[in-house]
Amino acid sequence: MTAPDRHPRPDSIAGVLANLRRVPRRVQRESREVIEAAVTQLFEVVVRHPGGATASREYRIDDLARLAGTTTRNVRVYRDRDLLPPPRRVGRIALFNDTHLTRLRLITSMLDRGYTIAHVKEMIGAWEQGKDLGDVLGLETAIAGSWTTERPETMPRADAERLIDDPQAFDRLVALGVVRLDGESRATITRPKLIEAFNEVRGYGIPVGQLVDLYEQTLPHIDAISQLLVRAGAEHVLKRVQPGAPLPADTEIAELIGMLVRFRTHAVASVTATLASSIESTIESMVAGLLTESLPP
């Protein structure tokens, strides 16, 4: 076993854990913020540097297609259309990595949503040129593989109240934790994308209070789905990290976190596809009902 680096980089798994170990034990136990900050840093390190945090795996084309839920023929088609970067070649064998897998899942998701290969190529090209894929596709950046999809926004309280533009809804959002008051004069929007969506939807005439009702009603169900999905990954982690026992080696922690990051991405993609399909079916049924009732016999 190689000796641990005495001065690990601060933006590495070892660096984050080393900083956490330097915090006095009493502070670790009494200050949850210290642990939460370290956890966020660990996941962001793995997301930003997947190859440096834990070794990127390589797959033959059959395994890549199976993991992405597609066929080897489709992989070759996407490769011929320059939708996938070239694989690494060892002799006559083509080896693909996690970057190819993420890209392939994204392509498959876009095609399932009704986009053509030409549209997919154009959108991925825009993404590679630095544009936000979420803006291009209307997908959360979680599917593209980032960790923290939203950054809280702090502003004067008056600006936050003006943004929501409904005193009663503002108070309810404070109670729900979507808005956090920082003293009398400052407020933090913890879910800025949610508020942005509220403001877009109420442009159709739906009151913001009704949107808060919908959010409040769906939140417990979303949390229940999240707990159900995460429990599967947590059970695997707890087999290797026993509560009360010393932490495993930094490389093993990096591997576990990398697994959870990929698990999160796959879970979001699966739930997004299922929810989109369900919503589309419900909308079509509702419109069909309206047409049936309005058309003459």
Digit-coded pLDDT (tens) for 245-254? 776 777 777 7
Smallest Cα–Cα separation from 139: which of 111, 109, 105?
Answer: 109
Ranges of each domain in the chain: 13-53, 58-137
Segments in the chain forming alpha helices (H): 13-22, 25-30, 32-48, 50-53, 61-68, 72-80, 98-112, 117-128, 133-137, 157-164, 167-176, 192-201, 208-240, 250-294
Strand pairing report for 88-90 and 58-59: unpaired
Q: Quote the pLDDT of residue 174.
A: 95
What residue has token string 């108070």?
A: 171
Q: What 8-state DSSP symbol labels residue 220?
A: H
Residue at 185: amino acid letter: S
Q: Quote the pLDDT of residue 118.
A: 81
Digit-coded pLDDT (tens) for 285-297? 888 888 888 777 6
Q: Quote the pLDDT of residue 132.
A: 47
Please provide the CATH number assigned to the domain covering 58-137.
Answer: 1.10.1660.10
Q: Quote the pLDDT of residue 25.
A: 63
Q: Quote the pLDDT of residue 207.
A: 92
Q: Per-10-residue mean pLDDT for the chain, 297 residues long?
A: 51 70 61 67 65 63 87 91 87 85 79 77 66 45 49 90 94 94 90 89 90 92 85 72 70 73 72 80 86 77
What is this structure's pTM?
Answer: 0.51
